[in-house]
Structure 1
Amino acid sequence: MKSVNVRKLALAGILVAVGIVCSPLSIPVGASKCAPVQHFINILGGVFLGPGYAVGMAFVTSLLRNLMGTGTLLAFPGSMCGALLCGLLYKYGKHRLPLAYFGELFGTSVIGGVLSYPVATLLMGSESALFGFVIPFFVSSFGGTVIAVVLVTAMKKMKVFDIYLGNLDTSEKKV
């Protein structure tokens, strides 16, 4: 059985909490609530924690936002697909940040947008087109991705989370 990395779990919990606290910062677009902070957090999770943690964080954040009334059921397919593709492209794309950014954008807007159609029509009773969520989800994830491009790039250069998570040799750490 794999041992759980307590630091990764703690960081995931903190990022979920940030997602919950910042969930009122959303833009209503049709039946969805576009939350750019969620997409920024998806990228943080995908880059620094990996695809599994990123998807878990997206699920827990979406669940808590729905329970608190600050989210919709559309948060599940949108955020989880974006987090998964972001983490996978970063992990298997030789740790290239542009791939992570593209994964969040494409995973949320196209894949999550299309998967939101049955959720909206069957569970929410909303009449929408098959590709009706692609543009609103793209707008939301684009805002979060722009935030991530600035902040994640800086964090990677400063090795903020690498030091915290113990991903560096002690000889590389600067005091």
Structure 2
Amino acid sequence: MKSNVKKLAFAGIFVALAVVCSAFYIPIGVSKCFPIQHMVNVLAGVFLGPWYACGMAFVTSLIRVLMGTGSLLAFPGSMIGALLCGLIYQKTRKMPLAVLGEVIGTGLLGALAAYPMATLFMAKEAAVFGFVLPFGISSLGGALISFVILLILERTKALSLLEKSLSTTR
């Protein structure tokens, strides 16, 4: 199996950006909402594909937890959102649907997956749908930021150049 050095480098840059910007968060309920994480998830899903995006989200969450700037709730939300965003973009090549994939993946599916994490591993009392609103707000904000960035890149023709540069098919 041949690794793609460009994709690994981009994933590393996305991880670094998300970790450095993790100082900026919005507290909503028991969760910390990181719109930059969701912005990076969408960008990674579009540029790198679903598996690199999911891996990037995992590494970012792990570093943030180890540094004390994130919680265990970061894992299901960011990883599911990045994966779904990447899968949808891979199948449709439509940016609005990729953004929607991040919001549904993190805001709904990731929020529901966070419930057992909170109750079992963090000893927090939570309602099953208690994370949907904060995760949804956070993912929507970050996804909209990424959508604006992607639109700018598309209008300047940089999006197609980046996608072509990172393509694994030669």
Shift of 1:161: 5.4
1:111 aligns to what? 109
2:29 aligns to what? 30
Counterpart CA distance in 1 for 2:30 and 2:36 is: 18
Unaligned runs of 5+ in 1: 169-175
Which structure has the highest helix share of the two? 2
Shift of 1:159: 3.8
Structure of larger gyration radius: 1
Counterpart CA distance in 2 for 1:105 and 1:92 is: 17
Q: 118, 121, 126: which is aligned to 1:128?
A: 126
2:152 aligns to what? 154
Q: TM-score, normalised by structure 2?
A: 0.93
What is the RMSD computed on CA atoms of the aligned residues? Answer: 1.4
2:16 aligns to what? 17
Give 4+ residue runs of structure 1 displaced > 4 Å after superposition: none
**What pairs with 1:56-95 in structure 2 (closer than 5 Å)?**
56-93=55-92, 95=93
The share of aligned pairs that are identical, in percent, is 55
2:39 aligns to what? 40
Q: TM-score, normalised by structure 1?
A: 0.91
Whether the 8 Å contact between 2:77 and 2:109 is mirrored in structure 1 is yes
Whether the 8 Å contact between 2:19 and 2:63 is mirrored in structure 1 is yes
Counterpart CA distance in 2 for 1:151 and 1:117 is: 32
Amino acid at match of 2:36: V
Shift of 1:162: 4.4
Of residues 159-168 and 109-118 in structure 1, the stretch that sits farther from structure 2 once superposed is 159-168
1:139 aligns to what? 137
Amino acid at match of 2:73: L
Counterpart CA distance in 2 for 1:35 and 1:160 is: 26
